[in-house]
Structure 1
Amino acid sequence: MAVEPQEVPGSVPERTTGARRDPARRRAWTVLALLVCLVIVNYADKVVVGLAGVDMKEDLGLSDAEFGVIQSSFFWLFALGSVVGGWLGGKVRARWLLAGLGALWAISLAPVAAQAGFTTIVACRVLLGFAEGPTTAIAMQVTHSWFPAHRRALPSSIVVAGAGIGPLIASPVLTWVILEYSWRAAFGVLAVTGVVVTAMWLIGGDSGPEDTTAGHGRAAGHDHGAGSTAPALPERVPLRRLFSTGTIIGMAVLFFVAYANTSVKVSWLPLYLREGLGYDATTAGRLVALPYLFAAIAVLVVGAVSTVMTRRGISGRVTRGLLPAVLVLSSGVCTIAFSSLDRGVPQMVLLVLGSCLNSAGYGVLFAGLADVAPAAQRGVVFGIITAIYSLGAVVAPIVIGNFIDSSASVAAGYGSGFLVLGITTIVGAAVALPLINPGRDIAKLAARA
């Protein structure tokens, strides 16, 4: 137990220092709340096409394969945006960078709310994907600039929870807008919401005292967790060396299969509930919110569990590797299981459970990346990893669309697609599990500095 120091003439009492820290701590949580709002809008933008899919296909005369192209087009420049945004994250103040991205979101949504056809919608989704690609990486970089390493797992998980909260709110609200007005009106609502949230960020958001961007704040120390005995990382490591570590390779693989799973849920789940299982639009709008609700809860629970495990001295190999890998692997098992069942409560339970398990480890994985990446390079590393895992989202929606088009029935197409998705998820998690070991790789990077 630490002994409270004696006050000496000229010293600053501990209670005064603590009092001075309180405003910064409150500001950290305020900024975190604004980041969550941005992520909520980000994921509401992603899910809207799935919610409007049936009406869009009927109105525009689209086949399932063409609709899969619209869903996939969001991710065509997502990877490029992630890399560019990660690079800019080390050079441009986060306040202006995220505000600029938010403005692009609104610009890309507005034409779809008018009379855009297939080609224009694809172009708008490509622009939206480019603008939204860096959001998660930059949000994580800003979050980690406000919190020390041993406290990052929970704040990271809170940001990731916004990915579940966005569709959770959007699903019933946008379904109501679509039914009462039109599918185009839903895009208009999101454009206006994006402007409002961007303005809020511009007023109250910015990087924290651990920020490493040029000219803004002090660099963070090379801490890797409470009670960590790992050596300090050098200030910079060649990216080739960083991305040859088992931890980053394993996390990239795990992110890839998990995000492919997530992208299918975002793209096709509303249509699967209506076309594959026969639910009406209102019921489907409510049911599609369930996976996001429980996923948001699961992300927070896993983040808290990881934080407690870290404080108790459990290694990063377990808290950053074994924990998320087992969650993703279990998600793959649930995906295979629900794809073989008929409509009913057991199938819906497995669908929701698989979604929860798949998303639950995202925040922990980002915290693990922050452990291994030097502070000054986190934005670039996050951006590259986001670019890598977004490739899964390019492929998965198109594959599902082709399965539906080529199968004897819509239900059989969905079943085959989800079966392949589940197997891919399990294989990816099994490959990643033995690779992730932050303590080992931190030591190697430090030794070669």
Structure 2
Amino acid sequence: MNFIPDNVSKYDNVYDVLKERGFIEQCTNEEEVRELLGKEKIKFYIGFDPTADCLHVGHFMQVIIMMYMQKYGHTPIVLIGGGTGMVGDPSGRSDMRQMMTPETVQENCNAFKKLFDKFLDFDEEWVYTGGDGRTFGKASANKEPDPGKAICLNNASWLMNLNYVEFIRDIGRHFSVNNMLRAECFKQRLEKGLSFLEFNYMLMQSYDFMVMARDIDCKMQFGGNDQWSNILGGVDLCRRELDKQVYGMTFSLLTTSEGIKMGKTQKGALWLEAGKTSPYEFYQYWRNVADPDVNKCLRMLTFLPMEEVEQLSSLKDQEINKAKEVLAFEVTKMVHGEEEAVKAQEAARAAFSGGGDLSNIPTTRMSASDFEGEGMGVVTLIKTLKLVPSNGEGFRTIEGGGLLINDEKVTNPKMMVTKELFKDGILIIKKGKKTFHKVEI
């Protein structure tokens, strides 16, 4: 199942591979971690709170890191936050997360597991027995995971039955409020207001690490750079309560050269499921990244050998588009499969060259009656199709010469779109240089 070729790196130690690809940001003890990953095959975990029913590109970076670790013989623990998801992580947030019902959390957890199955090889016979509801109760598993296979846990199995007074006495006593308030994840929220509910999150995540270190010998926690404070809390708790040395490592967030998080589109997040973000839209996102971001995306989101990454990244001017095509194809192939990646690439080429197979570009089917008589205003149409967020933006797009219908530039923002403009029931809209949309009636 593993997508990673044997020639992905010249290194044998996964630490060196992750360093080479530019992932590693912070580490609790760099030398010890490198030595550990070189001489042992360890269990490590990354937590995923089920805040939606699908993974997005922000999660995908973490999945790729798990794939590297599995490739080099380590055991990924996918921790789905059925318990922590009931509270919500304040890290990287300017506002409080929406509260979800237990039913929604469980449905999202189930959906997450299905997506992880696409990327990781799991030992499906491995089962965690769960806790007894006591803070320091011991639980275990039915067996050791098969070597190199991933395992999946849900922290609801030990968090949901805890006695709060017992938990806060046993675990809360190890956490200094002064230190917590200095943590980035809390500091940026103090002005707008930080709820006590969210203040518990660091304790819960730290406790997760302690439980897995105690019960199944988990030795490392990985996470995005915004998780550093939470990871340090877990490392410290394991030392205090278990007298056990564990480690933490964080990774660069996927940002543009301007420091903006990647994976946000006009329609919202870039999802890993075709029903939420079509393969064509997914492909186009990576095909259209800025030139300075090509190297980072090729390094972090593909498994091309570094020599090829550097060669593609060094292309200049129009030639860099070849590198962007390779990037878009490789990432789309991994997420949606090779067949869909080929279709997306052919559709993109057809749209940009004017002709060819346009069947795979984003399409909206509308009623022919919408365009009878006087028809529909062009600004109303592009807003309905979510090509612009507002009427004002629609007018500005047209005034700037950025809208074409059937390859004809729209110059009148009050133009009416009628049935006569459709060719064989199809209308092709192009917004700017990169966005195509097909309307069928």
How does the TM-score come out when normalised to structure 2? 0.25
Q: Which has the higher strand share?
A: 2
Higher RCO, Cα 8 Å, sep 6+: 1
Greater Rg by CA: 2
How does the TM-score come out when normalised to structure 1? 0.25
Q: Which has the higher helix share?
A: 1
